[in-house]
Amino acid sequence: MADKMALAKAINESLRHALESDPKVLIMGEDVGKLGGVFRVTDGLQKDFGESRVIDTPLAESGIVGTAIGLALRGYRPVVEIQFDGFVFPAYDQIVTQLAKMHARSLGKVKLPVVVRIPYGGGIGAVEHHSESPESLFAHVAGLKVVSPSNASDAYWMMQQAIQSDDPVIFFEPKRRYWDKGEVNAEAIPGPLHKAQVVREGTDLTLAAYGPMVKLCQEVADAAAEEGKNLEVLDLRSVSPLDFDSIQASVEKTRRLVVVHEAPVFFGSGAEIAARITERCFYHLEAPVLRVGGYHAPYPPARLEEEYLPNLDRVLDAVDRSLAY
Amino acid sequence: MTVESTAARTPRRSAGSKAGTTGTKRTTRTPAKKDAKSTEPQLVQLLTPEGKRVKNAEYDKYVAGITPEELRGLYRDMVLTRRFDAEATSLQRQGELGLWASLLGQEAAQIGSGRATRDDDYVFPTYREHGVAWCRGVDPANLLGMFRGVNNGGWDPNSNNFQLYTIVIGSQTLHATGYAMGVAKDGADSAVIAYFGDGASSQGDVAESFTFSAVYNAPVVFFCQNNQWAISEPTEKQSRVPIYQRAQGFGFPGVRVDGNDVLGVLAVTRWALERARTGEGPTLVEAFTYRMGAHTTSDDPTRYRGDEERQAWEAKDPILRLRRYLEASNHADEGFFAELETESEALGKRVREAVRSMPDPDHFAIFENAYADGHALVDEERAQFAAYQASFADEGGN
């Protein structure tokens, strides 16, 4: 039965389902209890599952992740919320040196099924540290998995799968899409968590994106279609691992690739995609892999973010440049 | 660095007289004197350095029923731990280990606290808790894998409820707190003990673990071995107050115990663990001890501390003081000490042989266990690595 719901609500439903089906699942974070989180993603969960399972924590991100590790060692499956992207860095040490490495350090004897939820990205007119896209900083770390849904259905299912994963998962939620509605079929059988999906078939060029930029790429494809260009849009869904097989299959067909993300282009996930796809598809490519993303500058004040973030025209410009080769 | 600036920032008992000479406003403030009094450290001690048993109204009851056999057991634990530790230092000098972090001098702090734990308790160590590992039944040879470079830990934490060594300072205190929160959720009466040092007490993670454990009333004991030195930095570079007094600000008790007095440490740790079990929440125990050796085998303490200090602490040696007590109270005879000497040498030999016969890991261990559920990139790179390795075989088996 497919229900139409906002992306934030889909995550809420997913968390509710996880809390219902596994008594070891816990929700932790700042303001996740009575308030339901600043984006209301955990709305109503503490009321229904109690303070022992939906835990308002002190304002200390390292403490949140560090204690979640301890709870995971005790057999729990904590889902922790970092309130905003720019607030994750106090926890970065615990995530990188402990959460990511303990399974390897123990030669596989310790598993840390911890999900770190991070609302990320810009476009909501927020103050500093509330609009960042730090996914590459986590994708660079072995031991972590990094995913980002672009729509309500994926948000629901990918959260289920992230919670079931025995590896730590950094779950980037596209906060500017929280209120976008989509159909969620809670009885469907989802595809694998780390598999990309072709969300629009095309023949002339592949647009690859994840999270908040998928919708933009679909709009770009619509606009390009009016000009007679037939673009394929690939929703990568997972940043670590990246589904290079799907990107390769698409590029072998279209021979052109443009990668779009909000994060800075420099050392961003697009760089890794460009390098690997150049290696895999060298003889198929008609143009170098192009990237559209943020600039190598601190995320600007809200009045400038439209200039900083990829938009329709900037992506179309890259599409034209690629097609001009 | 200027001596004046240090004196101005550190409220010592002598601050008042020093203030007169420097004449600055800050040091002449009278409240400083009052502070100094209120921060006067109090030390729990049941055995003096001379091996004399002193009465303690508060903590005697926690070791009241201790038998001569148990006392000999504590002595044996400390001697064997020191022997193992010395062997590891030698093995590093011989090139068999890349590094060793010696616990020399801290045997009482570790054995006293380690023997206070129950099987179902859970221990979160730093990288120097070889004596605690011994008490938990972890094979000493297992501790050496990471120092030899064949793994990064590798033992199963759950087989002895003894977590892997944690190298990043203070991180494990949060894990211990989270684990303790889980114990409380499960309704178990187990306790958790987190080890850390005076240097770690400056880490934000330690402060956060105090906050979380206090707020959730987690059954955890924070066991700080104040061995006076964080590599080259003395404790006064970490804290303006005695470390145990920090607990008060977080809302739970802190106690300083003579860390070279195994009986005192046993009693205080039993008390703290009992508090955890009975829902009283966290406790901070500061075991006041001394790192007799270098920070690690890579360190050179002659660059930052004098030998007189070490000599003064040698007089407070934890093993010597228990031996004096055992002898004076006729709890152990020459036969016991001689037998222990033999056992000690056998342990050294066993550890030496275990290390020397420790195989290098298989090359593919690089990729094993990076993930629990696998990862496409790891699979791809493993295959590339395998092909690269195989290319040598094709060239004639080299």
Question: Residues B295-321: pLDDT tens digits?
Answer: 999 999 999 999 999 999 999 999 999
Name the pLDDT band for B396 (thresholds 50, 70, 90): low
Question: Residues B193-248: pLDDT tens digits?
Answer: 999 999 999 999 999 999 999 999 999 999 999 999 999 999 999 999 999 999 99
Residue B295 appears among annotated catalytic residues? yes
- Confidence check on the interface: ipTM exceeds 0.90, yes or no: yes
Kindly state whether B194 is in contact with chain A, defined as any CB-CB distance less than 8 angstroms. no
DSSP secondary structure of A191-207 = --TT--EEEE--SSEEE
Considering its fold, how many domains does chain B have in total?
3
Residue with tokens 């709890």, as numbered in its chain: B331
Question: Residues A159-195: pLDDT tens digits?
Answer: 999 999 999 999 999 999 999 999 999 888 889 999 9
Q: What's the confidence (pLDDT) of residue B4?
A: 37
Question: Which of A65, A70, A142 is the closest to B370 by Cβ?
Answer: A142
Please list every residue in chain A whose beta carbon sits closer than 8 Å to the beta carbon of residue B156: 106, 109
Output the six-digit token pair for B234: 């003395």
Question: Which of A75, A94, A109 is the closest to B171 by Cβ?
Answer: A94
Q: What's the confidence (pLDDT) of residue B394?
A: 64
Contact B372 A240 (CB under 8 A): no
Return residues 239-278 of A near B (CB < 8 Å). 240-245
- Which residues, at least 6 apart from B283, have a Cβ–Cβ distance to it below 8 Å? B221, B222, B247, B252, B253, B254, B255, B271, B272, B275, B276
What domains sit in chain A, N to C, each tagged with a CATH number?
2-185 (3.40.50.970), 197-323 (3.40.50.920)
Contact B377 A108 (CB under 8 A): no
Distance CA A286, CA A205 (A): 10
Please list every residue in chain B whose beta carbon sits closer than 8 Å to the beta carbon of residue A145: 371, 375
Question: Residues A191-233: pLDDT tens digits?
Answer: 999 999 999 999 999 999 999 999 999 999 999 999 999 999 9
Distance CA B210, CA B82 (A): 31
B316 and B381 both lie in a single domain: no
B215 and B346 both lie in a single domain: yes
Question: Residues B171-191: pLDDT tens digits?
Answer: 999 999 999 999 999 999 999
Distance CA B339, CA B131 (A): 20
B142 and B48 both lie in a single domain: yes
Distance CA A30, CA A13 (A): 19
Identify residue B207 by its one-letter amino acid code. Answer: A
Residue B175 appears among annotated catalytic residues? no
B101 and B33 both lie in a single domain: no
Chain A nearest C-alpha distance from B216 (Å) = 9
- Mean predicted confidence (pLDDT) in B29-38: 46
- Mean predicted confidence (pLDDT) in A128-141: 98
Residue A267 predicted with pLDDT over 60: yes
Kindly state whether A56 is in contact with chain B, defined as any CB-CB distance less than 8 angstroms. no
B259 and B272 both lie in a single domain: yes
Contact B174 A70 (CB under 8 A): yes
- Mean predicted confidence (pLDDT) in A61-77: 98
B21 and B103 both lie in a single domain: no
Output the six-digit token pair for B294: 């270098």
Mutate to test the interface with B, among A105, A140, A164 (most CBs of B within 10 A): A105
Percentage of residues in chain B with pLDDT exceeding 70? 89
Nearest 5 degrees, angle CA A13-CA A18-CA A24?
Answer: 150
Q: What's the confidence (pLDDT) of residue A9?
A: 98
Pairing of β A54-56 and β A25-29? parallel
Identify residue B26 by its one-letter amino acid code. Answer: R
Domain that holds residue B377: 363-394
Question: Residues B256-269: pLDDT tens digits?
Answer: 999 999 999 999 99
Contact A105 B153 (CB under 8 A): yes
Kindly state whether A102 is in contact with chain B, defined as any CB-CB distance less than 8 angstroms. yes
Among the options B115, B136, B148, B291, which is catalytic? Answer: B291
Q: What's the confidence (pLDDT) of residue B1?
A: 34
Q: Is the pTM of this model over 0.80?
A: yes
B19 and B101 both lie in a single domain: no
Chain B nearest C-alpha distance from A88 (Å) = 14
B70 and B123 both lie in a single domain: yes
Q: What's the confidence (pLDDT) of residue B300?
A: 94
Kindly state whether A67 is in contact with chain B, defined as any CB-CB distance less than 8 angstroms. yes
Percentage of residues in chain A with pLDDT exceeding 90? 98
Question: Residues A91-109: pLDDT tens digits?
Answer: 999 999 999 999 999 999 9
B284 and B384 both lie in a single domain: no
B289 and B187 both lie in a single domain: yes
Mutate to test the interface with A, among B152, B155, B177, B179 (most CBs of A within 10 A): B179
Residue B355 predicted with pLDDT over 60: yes
Nearest of B190, B366, B382, B165 to residue A75 by alpha carbon: B190
Percentage of residues in chain B with pLDDT exceeding 90? 87
DSSP secondary structure of B303-327 = GT--HHHHHHHHTT-HHHHHHHHHH
B344 and B371 both lie in a single domain: no
- Looking up residue B312, the CATH number of its domain turns out to be 3.40.50.970
Question: Residues B324-337: pLDDT tens digits?
Answer: 999 999 999 999 99
- Mean predicted confidence (pLDDT) in B268-289: 98
Q: What's the confidence (pLDDT) of residue A186?
A: 87
B10 and B68 both lie in a single domain: no
Residues B163, B172: contact at Cβ < 8 Å? yes
What is the gyration radius of the CA atoms in chain A, in angstroms? 19
List active site positions of A: 130
